[in-house]
Each structure stands twice: as C-alpha cells, then as structure tokens.
Amino acid sequence: MKKYIAVAICSLAVLLWVGFIWSNSAKTGEESGEMSSQVQEVVENVAEKLDVDVPTTERAVRKSAHFMEYMVLGLLLGADLTLICALLSRRTLLSDILRISITLPISFVVALIDEFGIQGATEGRGPSFTDVLIDMSGNLLGVLSIILALLLVSYILKKKAEKKSEVF
C-alpha cells in the first residue's frame, strides 16, 4: 500500500510541476521579463555577498530557468517511472534505465506544447525551438541523474549481498 501512495504522490508532483512550467509560459512578455529581472537581481546580490564576479543578463536568467524547470521534470518523471515499474513488474537495472528513457519523449511533448502552444499564443512571447533544445538538455541531466542514482544503489546493494554471502 505504501508503494501506491508513493507513486500517487510522485505522479501528482509531476503533474503539478508541468502545471508550474506551463503557468510560467502563460505569463505575458512583460510579466515574464519582470520576473526574470527579479531573479537576476537576487543572483547579483548573492554573487556580491559571496564576493564573486558573475555577470548576469536577463537572457541568461531566462535560459537557465528553462534548463532548471526541465531538469526537475526529468528527476520527477524518472523517479515516478521507477516507482511505477517497481509496482508493475520485476525490476532490473536495465529495465529501469529503458523505462526511465521514456521521460525524454514525454518531456519533449511537454516542451513543444510549452513553446509552440502556450508561449506562441501568449502576448509578448514567442516560440523558440532553441528553448526546446535547452529544455531537453535540462531534462537529460535530470534523467541521467536518476540513472546514476539507480546505478549507485544497485552497486551498493550488490556489495552488501556479496559481504553477506561471504559471512555464511
């Protein structure tokens, strides 16, 4: 029963995150620019306090936001698919990796809807295939992070099993 609750929570997190991404895209160009300026100001303040010279631009903030939004989506989708697969069938590391790879086309569709459906229809915004590529780069990092975590857990469990069998 706990596994079903974990899957439900993770699936809800994915849906809420997609909603968050799309709500950001539904902001007008003016609203989006204002939000980017605020984030840029925070980054500059933090860099100043850390005594680091980080030149930031509104464009860099916007592109970084695309990357981060989709990196989180990749993490959430990867975790969700891992949990779903654990419920549906016997898991192997290879099957987990293959199933997690499904996040890439799912995220690609989300990014296309985001850019060409939502931003393309929003005042002061326009679609950009470059942004879709940035989105997918972030998503790929999130997916690779989940795969790396699975490899690490698999390795640790294998080593524990080997130690346990050596004792007996």
Q: How many CB atoms lie within 10 A of CB 18?
A: 19
pLDDT greater than 80 at residue 93: no
pTM of the model: 0.85
Average pLDDT over residues 20-33: 93
133-150: per-residue pLDDT in tens?
999 999 999 999 988 998
Question: pLDDT tens-digit profile of 52-68?
Answer: 887 788 888 899 999 99
pLDDT above 80 for 115: yes
Cβ neighbours of residue 161 under 8 Å, at least 6 residues apart?
none
Closest alpha carbon to 73 in 152, 9, 11 = 11
Q: How confident is the model at residue 167 (pLDDT cuts 50, 70, 90)?
A: low
> Are residues 69 and 134 in contact, defined by beta-carbon separation less than 8 angstroms?
no
